Structure formats: C-alpha cells, structure tokens
C-alpha cells in the first residue's frame, strides 16, 4: 500500500471529470484522476458521441433515400449496420485518444475509487490524499419498477449492438427515446414510442415537442402519448394503460428510456454526504455539505448534459461562476434545441410575454436545403424587451440556438438581436423573423 498526496482528486473521467482534471493540472495543481472504466465516460463511450455518429449515418440514409427529390439518381439504397457501428466505434476511439492526450499532466489511476474520509480515497489498495475531492461519477439508465423490466434493453446495450432489431418498442418519449426513435426509423426499424406524459419531451416547449412528434409520425414512427407502461412480457410484449384501458404492443426488442439515476462512489453515504432525490446535493459552487468534497455533472442531478458537467467542473475549481442559461438540444431528425424559459414556464411565473414564431418554409435557405419542416419560437418579456427563451425544431437547431444563448447571457435585447444583420440566405435569418413576430 502506497500513500500519495495531491492538490485535487477527481473521481470519474467523463466530461465533468476529465476536463476538470486537465484544467486543474494546466493551472499547476497536482491532480489524480480515478476511473474504473474507459476514459470519456458516458458522453464519449455510451452517450453523446456514439449517438451523434449514428445520427449522422441516419441522416445520410434519409438523404440518400430522398436523393431523387434533389435530382440525383442514387440507385438502390441499403443500410449495412455493421459498418455503421464500426464507423461509430472509430469516431469514439479517435476521440478517446484525444482525451488521453488532454490528460497528459494528470495522474490517471484505473480502478474503483472508494472514499475513506473527506480527504482520502482508496483505489486498488493504494491511498490518495488531497484537500479537495471532486466527484464526477455520472449516471446510469433508470429502470422502471414493473414486472418484466429485466426483459428490456437500455441505451448502453443499443449503442454496443452490431445488429438492429426488426421492430422496437421504446418506453419513454424523452430525449433518449426520441433520439433512438429517430435514428432507428431511418435505418428501417419499425418503431413505437410509449410516453407517459401528454406530450413527448416533457419540459420542452409544447409547440416544439408537437412539431417533432408530427414530423416523426410522418416518417412512420408510431407515438402513443398518455401511455402508462405497466409490464413487459416474454416475447417483448409491452402492456400499458391508455385512458384507463389496457393495451399492448409487440416488438422484437424493448428499449427502456425513462431517465437516469446517479452512480454514487463507495464510502459516500458513510461520510454523511447529503443527497437530494438520490443525487448528491450541491450548492452553486458545486460543494456538498462535507467541506472539501464537491460533485459535478449527472451525479448531482442539476442538469444532465455533458456541457453542464464540464461547466460545473470549472465552477468547482473556482475558475468561473454558473451562467444564467444552459442551452440544450435533442439530436433527433429534425433536431430540437432550446435555451431559457418555455412559454408555459413564463406564464406559470406570471411573466407578461410575447411569443413569436417563424417557420422554416419561410426561409430561402431551408427551402434550398430541402428542409422546410421546422419552426423557431422566441419568447420576449413584453415590459423589458428581454429575450426569455428560444425554442427550435428543425435542421441545425442546435447550432442556431447558440446565437440566442450569447444574446441572452450578455443581456442583448430582442430589438438589438432583431436589428443585427444576418447573412442571407441562412437559417439564422429565422431568428430575427421570429423576434419581429414576437415584437409586433
Ligand atoms: P428523460 O427524463 O428525458 O425522459 C424519460 C421519459 O420517460 C419521460 O418523458 C417520462 O415521462 C417517460 N416515462 C417515465 N415513466 C414512464 C412509463 N411508465 N411509461 C411511459 N413513459 C414513461 O430521460 P431520458 O430520455 O432517459 O434521458 C436521460 C437524461 O439524459 C436526460 O436528463 C437527458 O437530458 C439526458 N440526455 C441528453 C441528451 C442530449 O442532450 N442530447 C441525450 C441523451 C440523454
């Protein structure tokens, strides 16, 4: 048994952990990073990156299948999923090498980290001591407590599959459910989504969610909202209740995508670290109730997004404060993205707002791209002209929402953003169009 002293110990090498460790080391601190799996965490190995690689292949499949509408004869189109999966793995592999490079000045220890005290961690029988410990252990798929739950696969399984099922029933029409529904449908899988709430993507702007649901239904995806899944039977039959009536749907595979649960390191409870709904409770500096122990990323349950984890790591290091806004996106086809408050949330807060929409069909660029299906919605405070929210469903939604994030973070008013000259023809012209409709 060895004992080594550090300035900071980070547990977990996802985007919360590895970026924090690299940043701390770059500022001259001695940093140890413990990881029991592969570098990159959920985002790189079982989340954002592999799904985006699959999403790109799905876009190519859809575009190639639709080539005739662009005047291109592409012949017969077929999907070789084994090669799709190989490409995804290659993307992940090369990015993992980049993570190793970024961690050049960090002592990476591979193994299961256990907290022994507020400044001591044990990995593989060795002891590591530091005045600051940052927990970035992430999350794993949640499992519904229903009979037959063990018959379902999760997103981790699907992302490592090299073959696709003929059909799939997806329990949960949240972010993961809609991304997989969209991608699998593009590869020819027969998809049914069962969502408990009245609309898919609960928490998103209702107009955006409805537009995505309509677009995906048009692509042949069956989406049942208000469906309370009660059990899964062998042979992949999913039983659910709809308006009090029993219903069922059969498929060759069932994906459960009903949220994620935190992964807590051993020793945490014994130390008395406070939890909130099972996640590690933190304040705005990412500090737990135990001095010296911090938690960033999914494990604190504040915002289950990779970029939020990275940001929180910077906050935990004291390099910056939390921003007012964190934008997010759903990488479905078409994409959805949002920043700030939804219209419903504004109304619930008693804010006096104006909402304005612009549809992609009104954009020369969208029409030229063959992407007429989409909308931009801007929400403006009627009294102050402040932009309170932006919600987009359509091609390149995630890229477009960034401009509004900058405006909102910097306090740029709706008028000022509207008067900013936008290049013609670009999709971003839809932003001033929507603002103009909000301010009329
Ligand atoms: P989620 O919370 O987004 O959605 C889960 C869905 O399951 C909800 O819509 C919920 O109403 C539904 N549900 C729950 N119980 C049900 C039942 N009995 N029957 C039918 N439906 C039921 O969770 P997720 O999609 O699993 O994603 C997990 C987390 O990961 C989210 O916080 C998400 O933001 C994050 N994530 C983000 C991205 C991204 O940023 N692009 C991608 C993937 C995941």
pLDDT in tens, 133-161: 999 999 999 999 999 999 999 999 999 99
Rounded-to-integer distance, Cα 84 and Cα 82, Å: 5
Catalytic residue among 307, 396, 422, 424: 424
10 and 129 share one domain:
yes
For the Cβ of 258 lying below 6 angstroms from any atom of ligand 1, the answer is yes
What is the distance in A from the centroid of ligand 1 to the CA of 174? 4
Q: What percent of the chain is predicted at pLDDT more than 70?
A: 100
Evaluate whether residue 402 is within a structural domain.
Answer: yes
For the Cβ of 173 lying below 6 angstroms from any atom of ligand 1, the answer is yes
What is the distance in A from the centroid of ligand 1 to the CA of 200? 10
Rounded-to-integer distance, Cα 336 and Cα 332, Å: 7
For the Cβ of 174 lying below 6 angstroms from any atom of ligand 1, the answer is yes
Rounded-to-integer distance, Cα 340 and Cα 360, Å: 21
Using the atom order of ligand 1, give the atom closest to the CA of residue 155: 26
State mean pLDDT over 331-343: 98
The confidence band for 2, taking pLDDT boundaries of 50, 70 and 90, is confident
Rounded-to-integer distance, Cα 60 and Cα 63, Å: 5
- Whether the upstream peptide bond of residue 392 has omega within 30° of 0, thus cis, is no
Sheet strands (E) in 157-204: 167-171, 190-195
User: What is the phi-psi region of residue 302: left when phi exceeds 0, alpha when psi lies from -120 to 50, beta otherwise?
Assistant: alpha
Cβ(79)–Cβ(85) under 8 Å?
A: no
Evaluate whether residue 390 is within a structural domain.
Answer: yes
Order of all β-strands in the sheet with 190-195:
222-225, 190-195, 167-171, 253-256
Following DSSP, what letter does each residue of 306-354 receive, concatenated?
A: HHHHHHHHHHHTTS-PPPS---EEE-SSS-EEEEE--HHHHHHTT--EE
Burial class of residue 114 in the structure, from the number of CB atoms within 10 Å of its CB (0-12 exposed, 13-18 middle, 19+ buried): middle
Evaluate whether residue 328 is within a structural domain.
Answer: no
Total domains, the chain = 3
Q: Encoding tokens for residue 199?
A: 């609309």
161 and 249 share one domain:
yes
Using the atom order of ligand 1, give the atom closest to the CA of residue 174: 4
What is the distance in A from the centroid of ligand 1 to the CA of 96? 26
350 and 367 share one domain:
yes
* Interior/surface letters 300-321, b for 16+ CB within 10 angstroms, e for the rest: bbbebbbbbbbbbbbbbbeeee
Using the atom order of ligand 1, give the atom closest to the CA of residue 331: 41
In angstroms, what is the C-alpha Rg of the chain? 23
What CATH number does residue 209 fall under? 3.50.50.60
Rounded-to-integer distance, Cα 364 and Cα 255, Å: 39
For the Cβ of 228 lying below 6 angstroms from any atom of ligand 1, the answer is yes
Domain stops at, among 258, 288, 303: 258
What CATH number does residue 392 fall under? 3.30.390.30
Evaluate whether residue 186 is within a structural domain.
Answer: yes
Residue 184 has pLDDT above 90, yes or no: yes
Evaluate whether residue 44 is within a structural domain.
Answer: yes
424 is a catalytic site residue:
yes
Residue having the nearest C-alpha atom to atom 26 of ligand 1: 259
The confidence band for 1, taking pLDDT boundaries of 50, 70 and 90, is confident
226 and 95 share one domain:
no
Evaluate whether residue 329 is within a structural domain.
Answer: no
Cβ(133)–Cβ(47) under 8 Å?
A: no
The confidence band for 275, taking pLDDT boundaries of 50, 70 and 90, is very high
Rounded-to-integer distance, Cα 132 and Cα 113, Å: 15
Which residue, among 140, 120, 123, 122, has the nearest Cα to 131 in the 3D structure?
Answer: 120
Domain stops at, among 258, 291, 326: 258
105 and 185 share one domain:
no
226 and 349 share one domain:
no
pLDDT in tens, 163-178: 999 999 999 999 999 9
- Pairing type for strands 293-295 and 132-135 reads parallel
Residue 298: per-residue pLDDT: 98
Using the atom order of ligand 1, give the atom closest to the CA of residue 146: 18
What is the distance in A from the centroid of ligand 1 to the CA of 82? 27
91 and 80 share one domain:
yes
14 and 128 share one domain:
yes
Q: 253 is in which domain, residue-wise? A: 149-258
Evaluate whether residue 185 is within a structural domain.
Answer: yes
For the Cβ of 194 lying below 6 angstroms from any atom of ligand 1, the answer is yes
208 and 124 share one domain:
no
37 and 102 share one domain:
yes
Residue having the nearest C-alpha atom to atom 8 of ligand 1: 174
Residue 216: per-residue pLDDT: 98
What is the distance in A from the centroid of ligand 1 to the CA of 75? 38
305 and 344 share one domain:
no
- Whether the upstream peptide bond of residue 425 has omega within 30° of 0, thus cis, is yes
Cβ(131)–Cβ(119) under 8 Å?
A: yes
- State the residue for tokens 């069922």: 248
Evaluate whether residue 325 is within a structural domain.
Answer: no
251 and 265 share one domain:
no
Contacts of 269 (CB under 8 A, 6+ apart): none
């Amino acid at each position: 048994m060895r004992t080594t002293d550090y300035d900071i110990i980070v547990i977990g090498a996802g985007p919360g952990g590895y970026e924090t460790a690299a940043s701390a080391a770059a500022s001259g601190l001695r940093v140890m990073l413990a990881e029991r799996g592969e570098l990159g965490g959920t985002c790189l190995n079982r989340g954002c990156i592999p799904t985006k690689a699959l999403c790109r292949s799905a876009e190519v499949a859809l575009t190639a299948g639709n080539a005739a509408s662009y005047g291109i004869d592409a012949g017969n189109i077929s999907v070789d999923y084994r090669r799709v999966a190989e490409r995804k793995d290659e993307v992940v592999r090369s990015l993992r090498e980049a993570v190793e490079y970024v961690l050049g000045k960090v002592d990476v220890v591979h193994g299961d980290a256990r907290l022994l005290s507020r400044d001591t961690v044990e990995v593989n029988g060795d002891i590591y001591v530091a005045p600051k410990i940052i927990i970035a252990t992430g999350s794993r798929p949640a499992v519904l407590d229903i009979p037959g739950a063990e018959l379902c696969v999760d997103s981790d399984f699907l992302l490592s599959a090299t073959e696709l099922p003929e059909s799939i029933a997806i329990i949960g029409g949240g972010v993961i459910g809609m991304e997989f529904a969209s991608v699998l449908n593009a590869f020819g899988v027969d998809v049914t989504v069962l969502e408990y709430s009245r609309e898919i993507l609960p928490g998103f702007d209702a107009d955006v969610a409805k537009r995505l649901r309509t677009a995906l239904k048009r692509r042949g995806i069956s989406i049942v909202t208000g469906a309370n899944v009660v059990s899964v039977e062998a042979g992949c039959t999913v039983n659910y209740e709809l308006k009090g009536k029993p219903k069922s749907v059969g498929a060759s595979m069932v994906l459960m995508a009903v949220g994620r649960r935190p992964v807590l390191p051993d020793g945490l409870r014994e130390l008395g670290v406070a939890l909130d709904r099972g996640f590690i409770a933190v304040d705005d500096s990412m500090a737990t109730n135990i001095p010296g122990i911090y938690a960033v990323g999914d494990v604190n349950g504040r915002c289950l997004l990779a970029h939020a984890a990275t940001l929180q790591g910077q906050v935990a290091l004291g390099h910056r404060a939390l921003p007012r806004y964190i934008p997010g996106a759903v990488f479905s086809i078409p994409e959805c993205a949002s920043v700030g408050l939804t219209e419903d949330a504004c109304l619930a807060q008693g804010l006096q707002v104006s909402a304005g929409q612009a549809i992609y069909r009104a954009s020369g660029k969208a029409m030229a791209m063959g992407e007429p299906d989409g909308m931009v919605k801007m929400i403006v405070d009627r009294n102050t002209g402040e932009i309170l929210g932006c919600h987009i469903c359509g091609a390149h939604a995630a890229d477009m929402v960034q401009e509004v994030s900058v405006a909102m973070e910097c306090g740029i008013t709706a008028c000022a953003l509207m008067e900013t000259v936008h290049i013609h023809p670009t999709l971003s012209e839809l932003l001033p169009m929507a603002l103009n409709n909000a301010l009329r």
